[in-house]
Amino acid sequence: MKKIYFIIAIFFINISNGQVGINTVLPLSTLDINGNLSVKTVSLVGSSSVTLINNGVYISVNPTATDQEFKLPNPISFPGRVYFIRNISSSTAKITMEGTGVKFYFANSYANSSNQLYMYDSQNSNDHANGNGLRSCIVLSDGANWNVFTP
């Protein structure tokens, strides 16, 4: 009987800390995963109108013509949201966002910001400094803007 009370006590202690562990008995973070993580993948094909990025985590964009637009949600509405974006086409993908006054900020420069970025294959480091000419990037909302991290 003491063993059952002990197990119940441990269960309530973990719940009261608000920590969830998967494959671990002592979670060290709000979500502690001891194992692999799979995220939702989505493939978006460009069209003549704007294609919204509003679902998934790993996003494959596939523009069928140069500069087809793929639009992220407003970063103010989704603080902490992260997307892994990859252009799988030979055409240029134009990435924009909803919202007024919001920007993309690039990890390698606090001063460089833009309200759009272009994803294409380029070896030019000047393109990369401005977040352009990349096949892949990670964008993270800080609650005000999208921060762009490049490989």
pLDDT tens, position by position, 128-145: 555 577 889 999 999 999
Same domain, 50 and 79: yes
Residue 12 has pLDDT above 90, yes or no: no
pLDDT tens, position by position, 33-49: 899 988 999 999 999 99
Domain count, the chain: 2
Same domain, 7 and 46: no
Same domain, 105 and 48: yes
Same domain, 109 and 60: yes
Residues spanned by the domain of 95: 41-149
Same domain, 96 and 118: yes
Same domain, 16 and 74: no
Any idea which residue has 């803007």 for tokens?
145
- The pLDDT score that the predictor gives to residue 113 is 83
